[in-house]
Structures are given as C-alpha cells and as structure tokens.
Amino acid sequence: MVAHPQPCLFSIEMNSITFQENTRSCIGCLRDSLKAMLGRFKGKVMEIAKQTKKIGEDDPRRIVHAIKVGLALTFVSLFYYIRPLYDGFGQAGMWAILTVVVVFEFTVGGTLSKSINRGCATLIAGALGVGAEYLANLCGEGQAFVLGVLVFILAAIATFTRFFPKVKQRYDYGVTIFILTFSLVAVSGSQATTNLQIAYQRLSTILIGGATCMIISIFICPVWAGQDLHNLITGNVEKLATFLEGFGGELFSSPGDESSVVQCKDDKEKSYLQIYKSVLNSKATEESLANFAWWEIGHGGFKFHHPWKQYLKIGVLVRDCACHIEVLSRCINTKPQVASEFQLKIQSTCKNMSIECSKGLKELSFAVKNMTFPSPAAKIHIQNSAATADGFKNILENSSLSTKTDLQEVMPVLVTASILIDIIRCVEEISVSVDELSQKARFRKPIKSLEKQQQLLHRGIVKPVNDHVVLEIRETGGDSVDNKKLRSGVVKPVDGISGGNDHINDKDQRDVGGLSTGEQKSSSV
Amino acid sequence: MVAHPQPCLFSIEMNSITFQENTRSCIGCLRDSLKAMLGRFKGKVMEIAKQTKKIGEDDPRRIVHAIKVGLALTFVSLFYYIRPLYDGFGQAGMWAILTVVVVFEFTVGGTLSKSINRGCATLIAGALGVGAEYLANLCGEGQAFVLGVLVFILAAIATFTRFFPKVKQRYDYGVTIFILTFSLVAVSGSQATTNLQIAYQRLSTILIGGATCMIISIFICPVWAGQDLHNLITGNVEKLATFLEGFGGELFSSPGDESSVVQCKDDKEKSYLQIYKSVLNSKATEESLANFAWWEIGHGGFKFHHPWKQYLKIGVLVRDCACHIEVLSRCINTKPQVASEFQLKIQSTCKNMSIECSKGLKELSFAVKNMTFPSPAAKIHIQNSAATADGFKNILENSSLSTKTDLQEVMPVLVTASILIDIIRCVEEISVSVDELSQKARFRKPIKSLEKQQQLLHRGIVKPVNDHVVLEIRETGGDSVDNKKLRSGVVKPVDGISGGNDHINDKDQRDVGGLSTGEQKSSSV
C-alpha cells in the first residue's frame, strides 16, 4: 500500500489532483532545469577557470602585462585624483588615460611604436590644425565651409596613404591619430578661443601618458619583440630538426625493432609529426614581431637596428622547408612490409640524410640562439647529408631491379629520398642565410670561447660540469648520447649505415680537434 | 685667345683670383648638389605618384573608401560647426569625431564589428563606472583610493581577457573601449558632479558617430568582407587549377613541340609558376575577413550567419594543396633530355592527372563563385584523375626497366607522379569540403536551372547567346575548346592518352545527357 501525499484535503476532484500533480511535476521540472542550468553554469565557470590557468601557464608574462597595464592606468589617474594637477590640466587629463589604454601593448616595441606614432602625429597634426584654423579665420563668414573642406581633403588623403604597404606597416596608428588630432584641433578652433592652451595641455598629457607606458613597459619585466622574434625563429628551426630526427630515427627502423616499441612510440611519433605544423603558419607573427622590433632600443645582445629583416628571410626559407616536410610526412604511411635489400639500402641512405640534416639544423638553431657564428660542425653535417645524397645517386646507378613488381615497391622510398634531397637544398639555403645573419648582426665567433674554455679546463680552472652541454653540441648536435653509446659499443648500429655513421663521427672528431687547436677558423665564416 | 671674364677689375692679386674661383666652384658645387637634390626629390615624387596610381588601380575601392571616411568625418564635424548642436552636446561632440576616425574600417564587417563593440562596451563600462563611483562615494575619505583599486583590478582583468583567443578574435576592440570608458567615467566622477549628463552626452555622440559610419559604410559602395572572403577562396582554388593546367600542359609537352615555342612560353610559364605562391600566405587575410564577415548583415547571396567557417576549412585544404604544388614546382627543372618509352608513358599519365585535377578544381571554383552545387562534371574530373592514378600503378606493375641507369632517369617522373597522386587526394578533400559548404550555405542546385534553361531553349524562348558559357563549363570545365576540337578531329591527341581522353569525353557526354534528363541528380550532392 502506498500512502498518498495530502489525500483529498485540497484536491477533491480528479481534475484538481491532475492540476496538483501537474504543478508538482512543473515545479520538479523547474527544479531540474534550474539544477541543469546551475550545472552548466558551473561547468562553464570551471572551463573558463581552466582556460585562464592554461593561458597564464603558457606564458606567465601575460599576467605581468595585465598588472602593468593596471599599474599604468592607476598612475595616470592621478591626473584626476590629485586636485592641483587637475586644476592645471583640466579635462585634458582624460587624454592621458586614453593614451595609456590605447598605446600600451604586450611588447616593448609595440608600445614604443604606438607612443612615438601618437606623439609625432599629434604634434604635426596639431600644428597643421592650428594653421587650418588660421586660414579659415581669414575667410570670415565662410570659415565653417573652409574648415569642412580642409578636414575632408586631409582625412581622405591620409586614409588613402594607409594603403601604402610601408605606411601600413609602420605608421598606421600614426595616420589614425593624425586624422583625429587634425580634425579635433581644426574644428574645436572654430569654437574655442584658447586653442593654443588646449593644444599645450593635450600634448603634455599625451606625452605624460606615453612616457608612463614606455617607462613601465621597458623597466618592469619588459617583453622585447626582438627577443621573441629571435626565439620564434630558433624555435622553428629546431622544430624542423626535431621532425627530421624523428622521421629519420623512427620511420626506417627495421621491422624487428618496430614491433617491440611501436606502441610506446605512438605518442612521441604523433608529437613530432605535429610539431612542424605551427611553422607553416608563423608568417604573420614573424612580420608583426619584426615590425615592433624595429622600434626597440638595444636590449640583451641586440643592438638598435639589429638586422631583423634577415630573420624574416630565414623565416621564409624555414617555411619553405616546412612545406617539403608537410609532403614528406605523407610518406610515413607508405612503409613497406617486407623490404628488399635495395630498399634497405635506400632507407638507410634516407635515414642518414634526415639525421644529418637534423643535426645541421640543430647546430644552426643553437648558434642563432646563442648569438654565435654557426660552428663548423653545422657545415659538416650539411655537407655530409649532401654527400649522402650524392651517394644515393650512386646506389641508383649501380642497382639492378630483379623483378617486374620492384618498381612499385621501390617507389615510396625513392619519393622519400627525392623529397629529402630537396630538403637538403632548403637546409643549405637556411645555412647560408644564418651565416649572413651572423655577419650582419656581428655574432660572436664560437671558436675562441671554446678554445679558452678548453684551455681553462686543461689548467683545471673550470670544473667540467657545465661544459658538458657545450661539448656535446659541438660534437654531434643534440644526438650526442646515442653517438657516444655507438662509439663505446653500448648500442650497435641497427641497419647498414654503420660505415657512414662512423665516417661522420670521424669527421666530427676531426672537427672538434680542429676547433681546439684553432685550425679551422676560416670554415666558421 | 680666350677672353678672361672680368679681368683684373676686382681681383688684383693671385690670392684674390683663387678666392673668386673657389667661390665660383663652391657656388657651382652648391648648384649641382641642389640640382641633384631636386632631381632626387622629383624622382621620389614621381615614384610616389606611380605607387599611388598602382594602389588605386589595383583596387579602386580604396579611393572610394578614402572619400567615404572624409565624408563621414566632415558630417560629424557638424557637431562643432552648428552652434545649437554644439551647445547641446558641449565637448562631447569630439567623441563623435573620435568614433568615426577609429571605427571606420575598409569593410562593412570591420566597421560594424568596431561600432557594435564600441557601443556595447561604452554602455556596459559606463554603467559599471557609475556603480564604481557610487561605491567610492560611500567610502567618504577613501574615495580616491577605492576608485584607484577598482580601476587597477578591472583594467588588469580586462587586459588579461584579451589573451583568450575568442575574445581576441571578436571583442578585442570592445575590451579596449571597456577599459577606457570605465576609467574615464569612474575617475571623472570623482571631480564632475553632473556625471549622468556627461554619460548621456558621450553615449549619444558615440552612437551618432557609429551610426554615421555604419550607414555610409553599408549604403555607399559597400565593401563586404564576406564577398571578399568568397572571392579570395574561389580565386585561390582557381590559382591551383591554373598551376596544374600550366604544369600538365607545358612541362610534359614532347621535346619536338618545346623547341619551337619555348621562348614565347617563358613569360607565361613564369606567371603560372608564381601564381600559387600567394595562396600559401593567405591565412591571415582569410581569418580576418571571416571574422569581419561574421558581423555582416545579409548581402548579395549571403545570408546573416552564412557558414563562413567552412570557407576557412576550404582555405586550410587549399593551402595544403599549395604546399604540395610548391614541392611539385621543383620538378620542372628535372625534365629529361631524351625520354624513354616508359618515361613518356608516365609523363602522359602525369599530364592526364594534372589536367583532370585542374578541370575538377576549376569546376569547384566555378560552383562556389556562382553559389551553386558543384556540377557532376567536377566529381567526374576528380574521379578521372584518381582512375589515372590507379592506371599509373598498373603501368608500374607491367613495366620492366631495361638497363641499369634507367632508375635514375625514371626517378624524376616517378616523384612527379607520386606528388600528383598526393595532390589528387588534396583535391578530393577540397571537393568534399566544397560539397559541405554548398549544403550548409544552401547553394542553388545547378541541374534544375540548366534543365529549365534547356527547356526554354527548346521552346525558343531564350536565345542561345548567353548559355554558351554555362554549357561550356558543364561539359568539360575551362578546357572545352580543346576537347571539342579533339572530338571533331581537328587536333589529334599527341601522346598515348587518347583512349583515356575519349573515355573522359564519353563520360562527360553521358553526364550532360543525364543532366538534361534529370537522371543523375543524386551525384551532385
């Protein structure tokens, strides 16, 4: 038996009961939907919190930037808070706030660019505006008409200049402010009498606003666009190297290896397959950073007018290389099940080319990162890869295909090899461009410092704790551990490339020898 | 005998003569350098004039835009000129000018986005600012401190939200204006008494400024971001088609052909080799256009909330394809001097793949351009190219290489074929994506209109002048003339692809038959 809730007290008829039940179910419905809404709201809040955390963690400088903007804004608000200043500047105080809000950018270069643009444009447009007002006054009755025509002409011309690439690139904000200030000064002149005083007030508050931004931007945890561009380019070169390393190392591992490690490698493989993708889309970021960097004063190792354009040139070549890698990455799925001797031969050649290219790129990236000339090892790795490419032609010449179906099986490796040869050409171009950069930017020569360090090492002045990294990279790029193991016999070379590899190591060792005795100085230029 | 100018009258001694000569040479120098300067100045002016002409000719809408901005600015200047309005709005009139200068963008979407952002942000921030002021008033003496803290917190939080991709993408300007307005309202409140009146004045002038921009932007020669995005994407697809057409048609022309036409082709070849390059770098433009298009009201064939995101998806695939084309373009230099039979066979296969892909892409581009579903011909061309790719595998299986050196010679064509096969995959993906777009955007079905047109044609209602274009493209893409010639026997197929080509034409003809009787409707979905 089920006890009926509130039986027959308020609900005498069936209709009433239905109504009550309806109401109850309605309330239940409402409660449910409220709960669901609350749940969704909670979920949304949690999601936002999570995203906020991620954005902050990805680049903690963003949090600092937000605080800096708050600080600058609070500071210029003094113009309003403190009565004496307010009395002095009047309503013009708001221009300081406006300037801070609009001018403060994430990077120092951005802030400088906008501040300087704003300052100069205000000055020029203010002067022109006063002139326009004077001209209009001469016309007596037609004053308003003359001013209107002048505003129209100047606004139209200035707007059109924004389509000039150079103006767009560097002075876009300045032109906006020019139009704004000219219109304001010219037009307000037709009403206000104390025009010069207003101009003075406005200009000084804008200067104070701009100066506040510049000082806070430069002296409190500065974010230099130049440094960011530098890091972006070195990072991109390294990404290419990482792909080629992964490609060379994992794609052509012999089938025996693969079965045992394929599962734990899956994630890693995916990451190196994805890592170069961002390189393809970095053009816009690079260009805006280079633009901002142009405005920046000297900082770190970068002087005023560091050759930022050269970074863009390297960026173009790096993207070209990434394009080839994009096509190359399709070849991963075309791995044959059972490889013939000929295929294995070409595979090992490909592995060699890929790994050597990767090492060369790592050397280049390391050199740019540390602002030194590329070490001779970089050239040697690239030369090795080119030599391997030549060797590939020999293999082709000396090979004879046994059966009819060979060609179809062989094709994937041939295509891979061909694209890798193209990539080598790209890497050579990148190398030339990095050389140019190191000359233009007057990077340090790495040899002397290494020499010095090694001399100190021999004398026992420096303990060999920190030089590990340096020596490691001078020798064989980022892959030294494997090679050391190879040399010491811990890991045996898997496929038939031991000869080639030893050869490379020999070269490397000779190279290091050359470095320590200073014999190969010329090759680093 | 040479008459000395002004002999011995003013210059009695040698020194004096030297001095005079020095002065004269100095003046000459000055004159020369002045001339040179004037020449340089003239050159510079000419250069700027040339550039101005080019920028205007490249896109005449730029000139119109400049005039529109001038117009809007002159219009809102009425706030200052006409005294009654000036008295009513006071200094707030400048906000109308400021709004116009900052808000007026090249595209309607850009202007709408900024206007709406500005309006909403001003409203919300104004209300919050008044609230903050009220809160601060409650605190009595600590008023300034409370306001400072509030401004700091809100500015910092709002600045940080700008790093959220979605906020950055759509509301970046709104956030800037939010910070600005909040600071101005909250802070000016501590001094001004008639705060609400100021807020009302400011808001109304901003609304008038924004409305002026929106109206002029929409009704005087509007530049729709959506239309631009639409054109950009169709243009990019067409560029790929142009490359593939050029590549297929010119690269693998038989050596006999080549010698006679190689020189006059040089320029043309260069242009099709360069034309796809811009596709690689169109990402930033596409994204900003899609962003602006999101804000636009319905226009032309585009409704409000047209699936602009789908255009971006197509854009990604098109860039992927362009990447492959970039690699493919390297293969042009690897043309063999004397081609073996096997090479010729593969070459003609490559030519077929390239041309069919090109036709398929042209059909797709044509369909998107005219906002119709892709015609069945597009699918058929792509299927043909895929079938040719399968045929390529057969050629490989059935081939036997005769000599040892064959492999090296054959490699370039193998690589070309392999990349072309990848490109076919890209084109297939593009085709799927275009299908999705036509469904999402509810494009017209081309069949019925064609059917109708043909019925009208049979009845003699429409004269067959304009349908030429439609029929031409329905049949065989942009290359119909050649195919018609082929069918009528005017041009004989050069290489061994006549069978395949006839097959294609048969298919096409069947397809057109199907179209006119309405049998193949399902294939267009």
Q: List per-block mean pLDDT (blocks of 10 residues) for chain A, which spans 525 residues.
A: 44 57 77 91 93 91 93 82 57 81 92 92 88 84 84 93 91 92 77 64 84 92 93 94 85 48 48 83 92 89 88 94 89 64 82 91 92 89 89 76 64 86 93 92 71 48 37 37 37 34 34 32 28
Name B362's Cβ contacts closer than 8 Å, sequence gap at least 6: B238, B241, B473, B477, B478
Name A503's Cβ contacts closer than 8 Å, sequence gap at least 6: none
Q: Which two tokens stand for residue B186?
A: 């909250």
Which of B151-160, B252-261, B344-353 has the lowest average pLDDT?
Answer: B252-261
Q: What is the average pLDDT value for chain B, to the nearest integer?
A: 75
Residue B402: pLDDT over 90: no
Residue A372: beta bridge partners? A444
Residues of A in contact with B156 (CB under 8 A): 66-67, 69-70
Closest CA to B405 of B498, B472, B338: B338
| pLDDT above 70: percentage of residues in chain B | 69
How near does any CA of chain B get to the CA of A512, in Å?
36
Residue B250: strand, helix, or coil: helix
Give pTM, 2 decimals. 0.76
Phi, psi (degrees; rounded to nearest 5) at A511: -60, -45
Q: Considering CB atoms only, which of B65, B157, B404 is closest to A400?
A: B404
DSSP annotation of A495: S
pLDDT confidence of residue A154: 92
Distance CA A371, CA A351 (A): 30
* Chain B residue nearest residue A326, CA to CA: B323
Q: Considering CB atoms only, which of A69, A159, A422 is closest to B155?
A: A69
Q: Considering CB atoms only, which of A55, A71, A283 is closest to B281?
A: A283
CB contact under 8 A, A69 and B320: no
The tens digit of pLDDT for each residue in B206-259 reads: 888 899 999 999 999 999 999 999 999 999 999 999 999 888 876 655 444 444
Cβ-Cβ pairs closer than 8 A, A with B, add up to: 206
Distance CA A268, CA A246 (A): 9
pLDDT confidence of residue A493: 34
Residues of A in contact with B398 (CB under 8 A): 404
How near does any CA of chain B get to the CA of A186, in Å?
10
Most distant CA atoms of chain B, gap in Å: 111
- pLDDT tier at B431, thresholds 50, 70, 90: very high
Residue A355: beta bridge partners? none
CB contact under 8 A, A323 and B320: no
CB contact under 8 A, A86 and B180: no
Q: Which two tokens stand for residue B330?
A: 């390297």
* Chain B residue nearest residue A72, CA to CA: B152
Name A512's Cβ contacts closer than 8 Å, sequence gap at least 6: A377, A471, A474, A475
Name B302's Cβ contacts closer than 8 Å, sequence gap at least 6: B224, B226, B227, B230, B293, B296, B441
How near does any CA of chain B get to the CA of A316, in Å?
11
Between A175 and B481, residue with greater pLDDT: A175
- pLDDT tier at B504, thresholds 50, 70, 90: very low
CB contact under 8 A, A160 and B74: no
Residues of A in contact with B94 (CB under 8 A): 184, 188
CB contact under 8 A, B66 and A323: no
The tens digit of pLDDT for each residue in A429-479 reads: 999 999 999 999 888 886 555 554 455 445 444 343 333 333 333 333 333
Name B249's Cβ contacts closer than 8 Å, sequence gap at least 6: B351, B355
Closest CA to A382 of A407, A363, A399, A405: A363
Distance CA A239, CA A251 (A): 17
- pLDDT tier at B145, thresholds 50, 70, 90: confident
Residues of B in contact with A190 (CB under 8 A): 80-81
CB contact under 8 A, A73 and B327: no
CB contact under 8 A, A74 and B155: yes
CB-CB contact of B241 with B430 (8 Å): no
CB-CB contact of B258 with A260 (8 Å): no
How near does any CA of chain A get to the CA of B476, in Å?
30
Q: Considering CB atoms only, which of B152, B320, B422 is closest to A74?
A: B152
Name B215's Cβ contacts closer than 8 Å, sequence gap at least 6: none
Residues of B in contact with A180 (CB under 8 A): 97-98, 101-102
Distance CA B350, CA B335 (A): 13
Residues of A in contact with B179 (CB under 8 A): 69, 73, 101
Q: Which long-range contacts (CB under 8 A, 24 or more apart) does B136-140 make?
A: B136/B186, B136/B189, B136/B190
Name B347's Cβ contacts closer than 8 Å, sequence gap at least 6: B252, B339, B413, B495
Q: Which two tokens stand for residue A250?
A: 């994992």
